[in-house]
C-alpha cells in the first residue's frame, strides 16, 4: 500500500519535483510497519485457535501429540514480531511470517478437519497477505497452504469431517468476525497515519527551511489559485515585493550565518503583520520575498508594507559586540478581479518587481507602488 507524494525543492527559477513514495515501510521506526500491524492480529488469531483447541481436546491439548499447537500459538507471535525482523530484511520479514502462518494453518486444518475451521483459516491468511503485500503474496501463501494441506491428505488419506458442536461453531464464527473487525480497525488506523504522513510531507515541501515562509514552488502553484478565488469573490488582490537592502554586505562582513539570522528576523517580523489564514509570504529567492494580500487594494497594501518597513528599520540583531541593523525596500502592485487571467498575473508581478526596482533607485528603505 503506498501513497505518492510530490516533493518540491526550492529554486530561484521555480520548483523541481521528485516523486517520493510514502509507504507502510516508512511509517514508524526501524521495524517494518506491517510486522507491527499483524502482531496483535496474529496474537488474537492464536488465542482463538487455543480456545477452539481446548474446547475440542480438553487436557489432551497438553499431550505429546498435540503440545505443538500450544507451543506454536504461545511462542510464534512473539518470534514473528521481535526475532524474525532481526535476521531478515525488515521488508521481507512479514512475508516470511505469513508463509509460516500458512503452513501452520494447513497443519491445524489437518488436525481439525471442519469446514468452519478451514474457511476461517483461508480467510485469515487471505486478508493478511492482501494487506501486507497484495495479490502476489496472497496467491503464494494460499498455494502454500493448499499444497501443505494436500500433501497431508496424501500422507494420511481422506479425513473424516469433524463436528465442532454448538460452542465450537460459536467460537470459530465469533473469532472470525472479531478478527476481521480487528483487522479493519488496524487498516483504518494505518490509512489515517499514511494520509497524515503524506500531508506532512506535502506541507514541508512548500516551506522554506531557513525562514519558515512559503517557498517559490508554493508561490508558483498557489498564486493563480488566489487570483481565481479573488475573481469568484469579487475582491482585489495585491502583491508586495520586498528586498533587503545591502544584504550582500551583511554576508561579506559578518558571514552567511549572520545573514541567515537577518533573513529569519525579517520573515518573522513580516508574518507578525499579516492576517492569519488570509495573507501569506513566500521567499522568492535569496533576500527577496513576496507578500500576497487577498482583499487588499493598493492603499491598504502600501500601509502593510510601510508598517513592516518601519518595524524592520528599528529591528536590531546583536552579533558578538556588534549591533546589526538592516533596511528593506518594497514594491507594491494591485489588480481588480475582473482583470484576472494568466497574462494579467504576469503583468502584476512585473509591475511589482518594477516598483521594487524604483524603490531601490530612489534611495532604498522605502515603499513604491506601481501605476
| Number of other CB atoms surrounding residue 229 within 10 Å | 15
Task: Pick the catalytic residue from 200, 202, 264, 287.
Answer: 287
70 vs 47: CA distance, rounded Å:
10
Backbone angles phi, psi at 212, to 5 degrees: 80, 0
Q: Do the beta carbons of residue 66 and residue 57 sit within 8 Å?
A: yes
CA 315 to chain centre: 37
Q: Please compute, for residue 32, the number of CA atoms within 13 A of its CA located in the half-sphere on the CB side.
A: 23
Q: Which helix (H) or strand (E) holds 247?
A: helix 247-254
Cα distances (Å, whole numbers) of residue 324 to 254, 257, 259, 320, 327: 9, 13, 10, 10, 10
In this structure, what DSSP letter does residue 214 have?
A: B
Cα–Cα distance, 80 to 94 (Å, whole number): 8
Q: Contact at 8 Å (CB) between 329 and 243?
A: yes
- Give CA–CA dist 205/6, Å, rounded: 8
Active site residue 277: no
> Which residues form the catalytic set?
287
Amino acid at each position: 500500500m503506498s501513497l505518492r507524494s510530490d516533493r518540491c525543492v526550492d529554486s530561484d527559477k521555480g520548483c523541481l519535483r521528485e516523486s517520493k513514495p510514502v509507504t507502510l515501510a516508512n511509517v514508524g521506526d526501524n521495524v517494518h510497519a506491517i510486522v507491527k500491524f499483524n502482531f496483535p492480529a496474529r496474537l488474537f488469531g492464536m488465542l482463538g485457535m487455543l480456545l477452539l483447541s481446548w474446547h475440542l481436546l480438553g487436557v489432551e491439548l497438553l499431550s505429546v501429540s498435540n503440545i505443538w499447537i500450544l507451543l506454536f500459538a504461545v511462542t510464534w507471535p512473539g518470534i514473528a514480531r521481535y526475532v524474525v525482523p532481526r535476521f531478515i530484511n525488515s521488508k521481507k520479514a512479514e512475508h516470511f511470517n505469513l508463509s509460516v502462518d500458512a503452513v501452520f494453518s494447513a497443519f491445524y486444518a489437518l488436525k481439525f478437519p471442519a469446514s468452519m475451521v478451514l474457511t476461517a483459516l483461508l480467510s485469515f491468511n487471505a486478508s493478511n497477505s492482501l494487506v501486507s503485500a497484495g495479490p502476489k503474496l496472497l496467491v503464494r501463501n494460499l498455494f502454500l497452504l493448499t499444497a501443505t494441506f494436500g500433501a497431508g491428505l496424501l500422507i494420511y488419506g481422506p479425513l473424516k469431517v469433524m463436528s465442532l458442536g454448538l460452542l465450537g461453531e460459536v467460537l470459530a464464527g465469533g473469532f472470525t468476525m472479531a478478527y476481521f473487525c480487528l483487522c479493519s480497525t488496524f487498516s483504518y488506523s494505518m490509512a489515517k497515519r499514511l494520509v497524515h504522513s503524506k500531508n506532512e510531507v506535502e506541507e514541508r515541501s512548500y516551506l522554506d527551511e531557513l525562514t519558515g515562509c512559503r517557498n517559490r514552488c508554493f508561490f508558483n502553484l498557489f498564486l493563480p489559485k488566489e487570483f481565481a478565488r479573488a475573481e469568484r469573490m469579487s475582491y482585489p488582490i495585491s502583491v508586495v515585493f520586498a528586498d533587503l537592502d545591502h544584504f550582500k554586505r551583511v554576508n561579506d562582513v559578518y558571514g552567511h550565518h549572520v545573514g541567515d539570522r537577518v533573513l529569519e528576523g525579517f520573515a518573522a517580523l513580516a508574518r507578525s503583520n499579516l492576517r492569519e489564514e488570509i495573507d501569506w509570504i513566500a521567499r522568492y529567492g535569496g533576500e527577496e520575498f513576496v507578500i500576497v494580500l487577498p482583499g487588499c487594494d493598493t492603499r491598504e497594501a502600501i500601509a502593510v508594507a510601510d508598517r513592516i518597513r518601519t518595524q524592520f528599520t528599528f529591528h536590531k540583531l546583536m552579533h558578538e559586540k556588534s549591533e546589526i541593523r538592516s533596511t528593506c525596500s518594497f514594491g507594491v502592485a494591485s489588480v481588480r478581479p475582473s482583470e484576472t487571467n494568466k497574462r494579467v498575473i504576469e503583468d502584476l508581478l512585473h509591475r511589482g518587481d518594477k516598483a521594487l526596482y524604483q524603490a531601490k533607485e530612489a534611495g532604498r528603505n522605502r515603499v513604491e507602488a506601481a501605476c
